[in-house]
Structure 1
Amino acid sequence: MGDPGLRRLVLGTLLAAYPGPVPPDWAVDLVAEGLAGHTLFGTNVHDPAQLAASTAALRAARPDVLVAIDEEGGDVTRLAHATGSPYPGNAALGAVDDTTLTHRIYAAIGAELAAVGVTVDLAPTVDVNTADDNPVIGTRAFGADPARVAAHSAAAVTGLQSVGVAACAKHFPGHGATIADSHHELPTVDADAALLRARDLPPFAAVVDAGVQAVMTAHIRVPALTGDGPATFSRAVLVDLLRGEYGFTGAVITDALEMKGAAVAAGGVGSAAVRALAAGADLLCVGAKVDAALVERVVAEIIGAIGDGRLDRARVEQAAGRAAALAAWTLDALPRDLPVPPAPVPAGLGYQAARRAVRVEGDLTGLGRPLVVQVYAAATIAEGRVPWGLGPHLSDVAQVRVIATEADPAAVGRLAAGRPIVLVGRHLHRLPGGPALVGALAATHSVTVVEMGWPGRWRPEGVRAFVTTYGASHANGRAAAEALGLTD
């Protein structure tokens, strides 16, 4: 028989997950046996009452269980995955550049999380998005300027934590300069330490100074620091840099270990867990597709590594201790009687913020009732399939959806029947067929482009106006429709 104390110790470093809206028995039993907690995804969320009941079931197994979620607002939302978030995301907040507003938005998000028993928000994203073609950060970032990102990152952290929800800043040491998605591969940031300190690291310094409770690792390769492996497996990054140089004392949480950037590099989730712990991570986010068998395999791999000397038991004890300290903070901060009504939020706060973020280049007069053409864009794994666009906000306006590479500009023009065209897209500059479709339509029609992704520096020639929303949330969509005069 194995050592039950060791098994409980190892469980105390794991954030698992479960399928569906009701925690299965094994998910609750593991919490009682010492599992640090669970990460919730859109499949776990149907409505506030259901979610509050789910978190209550987990707390009944152990009061200090960690319940984490990726609720960034904007394009990455779990609470509002069925409709789109009522809050703009970081890019829009950075465009407005009002740190008081950023604090208020994140306090409002945190209040909604606290009301349903979520204790850790795996947010904010504090990456500096310096690559226009970044496929996974983009509008999740406050911008491309390190100082602006740093100021808003600190405001977001203090906003969340002011209502008792622990913030987790991500993705250390900075995912903003990548042009690959770590869900699918191991991206490389070819930068020396000096460039990282000037460009990518200031927001992390700011959130540490702001008292952030947790920092999430990035599955990115930075050869100058990490060699051939990802930062998640790098002691130089997690211990020497984050703790030694920047003075972080909270919990280091890994990005999901099932992601290709970690699992492939390590040879599997279990091996990734061992390497992350050895490097200095404290809480291991296993991923979204988790069952009891996977948790037991990871536990067995870690116990085996302790047994054969690949992993020091003292390091696991340190990790579990930091996870427990985070849990204690959340237990003290979260209201005892749950569910509770959310803290009062000014009516329409997120929609007001989204309106302030809209930027218009060109002329919007005389649009009348145009044909709205929404260009299909695939969602990232981080975003999930969340509705976006102007559709829910249009009043007596025709809309069609097209795939850029398959759309016939002449056919779209015939549908317009002399009306102006409003072309709505996300990341149109890097969407296959996107720039060509815009150009072909603008050559023969009055075209306004609404960019709901990261706008970058691309501006199409020949269009009458270019509208930037800095995000595709429900709030961003309404703000764009209002700017175009297409709502009631």
Structure 2
Amino acid sequence: MGLDAGLRRLVLGTLLAAYPGPVPPAWAVGLVADGLAGHTLFGTNVHDPAQLAAATAALRAGRPDVLVAIDEEGGDVTRLAHATGSPYPGNAALGAIDDPALTREVYAAIGAELAAAGITVNLAPTVDVNTADENPVIGTRSFGADPERVATHTAAAVRGLQDTGVAACAKHFPGHGATVADSHHELPLVDAPLDVLRRRDLPPFAAAVAAGTRAVMTAHIRVPALTGDDPATFSRAVLVDLLRGEYGFTGAVVTDALEMKGAAVAAGGIGPAAVRALAAGADLLCIGAKVDASLVEHVVAAIVAALGDGSLDRGRVEQAAGRAADLAAGLRADSRPAAPAPELGYAAARRAVRVEGASPGWHRPLVVQLHAASTIAEGRVPWGLGPHLADTEQVRVVATETDAAALRRLAGDRPIVLVGRHLHRLPGGVGLVSALAAEHPVAVVEMGWPATWRPAGVRAFVTTYGASHANGRAAAEALGLAG
């Protein structure tokens, strides 16, 4: 016997699915017509503005109030510009500039582009306070390490996005910034007492709520002081007692992707993870990026089974679906703002660059880009100075496989500009920089999270606070290398 149609529609109203490719397949649109809350778009869904607008129109043909979500943070996490890199600097650069009006303007520009494409929910901003230099998944996605500064820019970002009619989704509650593990791969631990969390991690979320954020995303992290052995996504103490009770949030609680190891392994699969997240107080469940119709039906069946055996209350699911519907209803808009001037992000990136040492005079250097792996959140987005260089040779190398003497021979009498991300923790990176700088004029361009490490002997150290297309151009300009 098949599922009751009314019950299936109710459960679908709590789910954010996804689909492959630039054109929504029939099953993806059919699920929307059947009541699916919406879809999250990823880089594989985005080719160009006209194609993207056609795709979101196809989803709206399934149901006009479908939620169309995307992770468009600017900076290192971009879907709209995944093929080239974002024309906007990310949060770390905006936090370094520390001009809340600019942050609001940049996020309004991003929101305008999303609105013009028919996207209604931005799974941004990241409002985690990045207090761990070794954090492998937040880093430059954060406005900084100071809770007050992050809170100020959080409010500006939320208002800028929502000025355009696009819902903001502050993430990752109750704070992913102190972790040294990636929740895509494992369940990170934040072992701090509640009073530390209130001072360090939670102020930006309070600021987001006060600014009117329409949604908040959960973190697949374990915070023993709040969650015991469970991730926050499965914790009623986090999602109901703290977020709703203490901070007064009334919007939609959205889970991070349930396919991530921090949730799926902890629960024993995506289906059980969905049940546990709903029971804890989540409203919209992001299934993940690799989704097909059968996976959606599997999750629906798991939730329906939990309703049947009494392990999940129907009233809780109705509440969740109602909040998802309220979010969608508040985002219906017939008019779309005009796209902003593209130079905004490049001008902002220039303001973020910091140069220590001598910046001018790097005439026709050898530019060496050190390979750095991307996180799942970032994806394989181009980065570096390459697209911005004029009459300058560039090579790409792996630090652990590169001999400093060979690079010096290749450079000859030319200076070397080393470009990297998170060089202080890149395998082989510190040793290679030190060996080169000991015998050769070297400048370093750090495009990752700016740690306190500064290599001895380098002539210049350039910090960009991110690796977007805009950050790369700003660094090339700062060294006088831009075409």
TM-score, normalising length: structure 1: 0.98
Matched, 1:368 2:374: no
Q: In structure 1, which of residues 434, 442, 446 is the aligned counterpart of residue 441 of structure 2?
A: 446
Distance in 1, matches of 2:146 and 2:341, equals 29
Q: Quick check: 1:431 aligned with 2:426?
A: yes
Amino acid at match of 1:31: V
1:346: how far off?
Answer: 3.5
Q: Distance in 2 between matches of 1:389 and 1:46?
A: 22
Counterparts in 2 of 1:344 and 1:43: CA distance versus 1, 3 Å: closer
Q: Secondary structure at the match of 1:330?
A: coil
**Structure 1 residue 347, shift from structure 2 partner:** 4.5
Q: Is 2:314 the counterpart of 1:319?
A: no
Deviation at 1:335, TM superposition (A): 2.6
Match of 2:385 in 1: 390
Alignment deviations for residues 340-397 of structure 1 (CA, whole Å, 9 cap, x no partner): 5x52523400000000000011112321111000000000000000000000000000
Unaligned segments of structure 1, at least 5 residues: none
Does residue 139 of structure 2 align to residue 138 of structure 1? Answer: yes
Cα distance in 2, alignment partners of residues 245 and 278 from structure 1:
19
Query: Which residue is equivalent to 1:419?
Result: 414
Alpha-carbon distance between aligned partners in 1 of 2:277 and 2:298, rounded to the nearest angstrom: 16
- In structure 2, what is the equivalent of residue 475 of structure 1? 470
**Match runs of 1:39-58 below 5 Å:** 39-58=40-59
Residues 116 and 339, structure 2, Cα contact 8 Å, conserved in 1: no
* Residue aligned with 1:423, SS: strand
Question: Counterpart in 1 of 2:350?
Answer: 355
Q: Which runs of 4+ in 1 moved over 4 A?
A: none
Residue in 1 aligned with 2:482? 487
Distance in 2 (CA, whole Å) between partners of 1:365 and 1:479 is 14
Q: Does the CA contact (< 8 Å) of 1:17 and 1:39 recur in 2?
A: yes
Q: Structure 1: how far apart are the matches of 2:350 and 2:443?
A: 18
* C-alpha contact 1:427 1:452 (8 A) present in aligned 2: yes
Q: Residues of 1 paired with 2:90 and 2:362: CA distance?
A: 28
1:472 is aligned with what amino acid?
A
Ranges in structure 2 where 5+ consecutive residues have no aligned partner = none
- Structure-1 separation of matches of 2:342 and 2:226: 46
Mapped partners of 2:339, 2:443: distance in 1: 38
- Report the counterpart of residue 68 of structure 1 in structure 2: 69
Partner residue, 1:126: 127
Please tell me whether residue 163 in structure 1 is matched to residue 158 in structure 2.
no
**CA displacement at 1:39 relative to structure 2:** 0.2
Task: Quote the residue 1:410 is aligned against.
Answer: 405
Q: Which amino acid aligns with 2:388?
A: H
CA contact (8 A) 1:15 1:37 kept: yes
Give me the whole-angstrom Cα distance separating, in 1, the residues matched to 2:185 and 2:436: 34
Q: Is the 8 A contact 1:208 1:248 kept in 2?
A: yes
Q: 2:174·2:232 contact (CA, 8 Å) conserved in 1?
A: yes
Aligned to 1:450, the other structure's residue is in SS state strand
2: CA distance, partners of 1:305 / 1:280? 15
Distance 2:26 2:122 in 1: 24
CA distance in 2, matches of 1:112, 1:72: 12
Aligned-residue offset at 1:437: 0.7
- Asked if 1:466 corresponds to 2:461, the answer is yes
Distance 2:317 2:40 in 1: 20
Once the 2 structures are TM-superposed, how far is the Cα of residue 125 of structure 1 from its aligned partner?
Answer: 0.1
What do residues 269-291 of structure 1 show as CA deviations (whole Å, max 9, x unaligned)?
00000000000000000000000
1:374-433 deviations in Å (ceiling 9; x for gaps): 000000000000000000000000100000100111111111011110000000011111
Would the aligned equivalents of 1:108 and 1:343 in 2 still touch at CA under 8 Å?
A: no
Contact 2:360-2:480 at 8 Å conserved across structures: no
- Take 2:55 and 2:203, find their aligned partners in 1: how far apart are those partners? 37
Distance in 2 between residues matched to 1:260 and 1:203, nearest whole Å: 26
Amino acid in the other structure paired with 2:246: E
CA distance in 1, matches of 2:342, 2:450: 29
Q: Which residue of 2 aligns with 1:13?
A: 14
Conserved in 2, the CA contact under 8 Å of 1:134 and 1:179?
Answer: yes
Match of 1:30 in 2: 31
Amino acid at match of 1:66: L
RMSD over equivalenced CA pairs, Å: 0.8
CA distance, structure 2, for counterparts of residue 240 and residue 190 of structure 1: 19
Q: Name the CA distance, whole Å, in 1 between partners of 2:148 and 2:79.
A: 29
